[in-house]
């Protein structure tokens, strides 16, 4: 059985993979993606990029926190890589 | 096949002195009288000589007579013709027409609509005519002026619905010059749908051979067309694209087409050019028709869309075209009828209006419109891409994002990998489209899903 920390590490890897896929698909040079990196300011990601990341993560992790959480409490703002990881970890934990 | 073999009596059957409802039965009878063994219909074509089944005009005329006798005995309120054997369908339609029995053509996937016609008798391949339900009404005399023909729409613009036509409108397009008589026609549409009825009616009313391939697989269609000497190919652009790109090249090389009639979807310039190059002697026509309106216009100049000067003028059939401010095409069939919003969007490009897609297919990305057809056109122009479909995926961030599927040539050219083909496709989109129109999801698929009308749906499938 995967520990919570292990699961979070897996999610973080999937999030970084999705961000790199966005850079690749849009022909932009890849950047480092530390957890504290700001999606807009540091990584240069816009709303379309974030929309793509969400579709890619739905494919790899099997959830879309935005759609699955429809009607429930609003999620906290998503400004950094860590925010994305935390949101997916919480959604997956709520599911299991 | 030269037109001179077509018996003159059949041409008379098409003449206006035979009332429209009786014209089909009269045409079958006159060919059968002159040449009873002439092949009317070949089914299971494309799988070799052992599998094909041929029905002659003589047999078809006998079936029409049987059906007419049974209709006279049962006096149904109306007849629902179910798809199945195309020969049975032709006999049912011909007999109902001449006997002036109201008729409904209902495809398999439109069965839910039959409830609207609950007192009507359902007729299938055995040509049996069940009596009207005991609690239902029965009818002794039919309306002598204009019996109705009810056809289910294909559901391109919403759930399928029943649309009423007159026999005159059903047969309006089936008046062909004599050079097109006695030819081989291939039927790749469902025979109960509007597009399908137009194909088999034209074939049978002109004493031709209707060739029904065993499947819509491109190899099977190409072999059926080549083996059965088909000269007229009515198809959706999607099917023609598949035949050109992936059908058995020997069979495609043996096809001798004189006429290609595209309909159901807009044809792009690239496909029209490919068709001209592969079938140089064929006249390529694009028909604009809907189940509700029937045929509105046809374009045969080899260019996509239609001439800009057609807008606001009465066309040869009497229809008048205009557009809404957002580019939706409006059609007024005649002065006495109201304008109909078609749901098709057109864009002016130079001296043409070209179709940019269905209004319902438009993708909205962060409030900006994306026409999937434009994306597909760009993807299809990438070397190594055979076909493409673009659609909107729901997104909590931007409303929708553009997703696309591409079909690659098989096998891929040497040195080309799926990864670099995908990168080339995205690069082509980036250089030709605005940023929000570039697909954010791009997947490979072996074959695009098509609906029963042979069209590629642009809404997500299976979500």
Which domains are seen in chain B, by residue range? 305-358 (no CATH), 362-444 (3.30.300.30)
How confident is the model over B118-139, as a mean pLDDT?
Answer: 76
Banded model confidence at residue B2, pLDDT cuts 50, 70, 90: very low
Neighbours of B332 (CB within 10 A): 18
Would you state the torsion angle of the CA atoms of residues B80, B86, B87, B92, taken in this order, to the nearest 10 degrees? 10
- Asked if the Cβ–Cβ distance from B427 to A55 is below 8 Å, we say no
Q: Give residue-wise pLDDT tens across range B341-356.
A: 999 999 999 999 999 8
Record: contact B440-A27, CB cut-off 8 A: no
Question: What would the mean pLDDT of A73-83 be, rounded to a whole number?
Answer: 81
Q: A23 touching B, CB under 8 A?
A: no
Q: What is the rounded average pLDDT for all residues in chain B?
A: 87
Strand partners of residue B354 = B347
Cβ-Cβ contacts under 8 Å for A41 (sequence gap 6 or more) = none
Contacts with B404 from chain A: Cβ below 8 Å: none
Chain B contact for A66, CB < 8 A? yes
Give the side-chain half-sphere CA count within 13 A for B280. 1
Q: Best mutation site among A18, A24, A50, A52 for testing chain B: the one with the most B CBs within 10 Å?
A: A52
Helix, strand and coil content of chain B, in percent to the nearest 5, comes to 35, 25, 40
pLDDT over 60 at B15, yes or no: no
This complex has an ipTM of 0.90
pLDDT band at B447 (very low <50, low <70, confident <90, very high): confident
CB pairs < 8 Å spanning A and B:
46
CATH code at A43? 1.10.1200.10
Residues 6+ apart with CB under 8 A from B85: B43, B125
Strands B39-45 and B53-56: antiparallel
Domains held by chain A: number: 1
Contact B28, B38 (CB under 8 A): no
- For the ranges B152-166, B218-232, B289-303, the one whose mean pLDDT is highest: B218-232
Domain that holds residue A28: 4-95
Q: Give the rounded percent of residues in chain B with a pLDDT score beyond 70.
A: 90
Banded pLDDT at A71 (limits 50, 70, 90) = low
- pLDDT of A50 reads 94
pLDDT at B189 over 80: yes
pLDDT-derived band at B405, boundaries 50, 70, 90: very high
d(CA A79, CA B307): 51
Beta-bridge partner residues of B76:
none
Give the pLDDT confidence score for residue A70 in this predicted structure: 56
CA neighbours closer than 13 Å in the CB half-sphere of residue B322: 10
Q: What average pLDDT does the segment B140-161 reach?
A: 66
Q: B312 in contact with A at a CB cutoff of 8 Å?
A: no
The whole-number pLDDT of residue B168 equals 87
pLDDT reported for residue B8: 41
The two three-digit tokens of residue A17, written as one number: 């993979």
Q: Do A47 and B440 touch (CB under 8 A)?
A: no
């Amino acid at each position: 059985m995967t520990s919570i920390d292990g699961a979070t590490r897996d999610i973080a890897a999937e999030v970084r993979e999705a961000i790199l896929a966005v850079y690749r698909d849009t022909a932009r040079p890849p950047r480092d993606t530390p957890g504290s990196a700001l999606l807009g300011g540091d990584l240069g990601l816009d709303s379309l990029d974030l929309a793509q990341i969400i579709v890619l993560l739905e494919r790899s992790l099997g959830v879309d926190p935005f759609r699955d959480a429809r009607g429930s409490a609003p999620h906290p703002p998503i400004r950094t890589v860590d925010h994305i990881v935390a949101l997916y970890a919480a959604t997956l934990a709520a599911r299991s | 096949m030269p037109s001179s073999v077509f018996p003159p009596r059949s041409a008379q059957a098409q003449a206006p002195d035979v009332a429209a409802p009786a014209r089909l039965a009269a045409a079958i009878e006159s060919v059968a009288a002159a040449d009873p063994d002439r092949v009317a219909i070949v089914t299971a074509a494309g799988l070799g000589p052992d599998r094909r089944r041929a029905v002659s005009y003589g047999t078809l005329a006998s079936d029409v007579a049987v059906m007419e006798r049974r209709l006279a005995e049962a006096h149904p309120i109306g007849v629902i013709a179910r798809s199945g054997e195309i020969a049975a369908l032709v006999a049912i339609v011909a007999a109902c027409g001449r006997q002036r029995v109201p008729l409904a053509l209902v495809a398999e996937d439109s069965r839910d609509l039959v409830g609207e016609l609950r007192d009507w008798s359902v007729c299938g391949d055995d040509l049996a005519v069940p009596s009207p339900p005991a609690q239902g009404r029965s009818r002794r005399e039919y309306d002598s002026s204009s019996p109705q023909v009810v056809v289910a729409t294909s559901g391109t613009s919403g759930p399928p619905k029943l649309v009423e036509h007159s026999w005159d409108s059903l047969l309006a397009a089936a008046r062909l010059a004599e050079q097109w008589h006695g030819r081989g026609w291939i039927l790749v549409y469902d025979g109960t749908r509007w597009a399908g009825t137009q194909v088999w009616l034209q074939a049978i009313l002109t004493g031709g051979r209707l060739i029904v391939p065993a499947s819509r697989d491109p190899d099977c269609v190409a072999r059926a067309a080549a083996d059965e000497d088909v000269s007229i190919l009515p198809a959706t652009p999607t099917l023609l694209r598949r035949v050109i790109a992936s059908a058995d090249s020997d069979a495609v090389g043996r096809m001798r087409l004189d006429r290609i009639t595209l309909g159901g979807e807009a044809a792009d310039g690239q496909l029209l050019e490919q068709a001209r190059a592969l079938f140089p002697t064929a006249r390529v026509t694009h028909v604009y028709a809907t189940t509700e309106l029937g045929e509105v216009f046809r374009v045969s100049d080899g260019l996509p869309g239609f001439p800009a000067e057609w807008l606001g003028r009465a066309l040869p059939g009497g229809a008048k075209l205009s557009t809404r401010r957002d580019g939706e095409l409006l059609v007024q069939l005649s002065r006495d009828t109201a304008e109909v919003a078609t749901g098709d969007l057109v864009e002016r490009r130079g001296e043409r209006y070209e179709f940019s897609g269905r209004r319902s297919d438009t993708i909205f990305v962060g409030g900006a419109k994306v026409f999937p057809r434009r994306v597909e056109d760009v993807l299809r122009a990438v070397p190594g891409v055979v076909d493409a479909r673009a659609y909107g995926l729901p997104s909590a961030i931007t409303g929708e994002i553009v997703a696309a599927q591409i079909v690659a040539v098989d096998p891929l050219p040497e040195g080309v990998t799926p990864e670099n083909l995908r990168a080339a496709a995205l690069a082509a989109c980036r250089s030709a489209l605005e940023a929000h129109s570039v697909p954010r999801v791009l997947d490979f698929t072996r074959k695009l899903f098509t609906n029963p009308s042979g069209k590629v749906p642009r809404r997500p499938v299976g979500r």
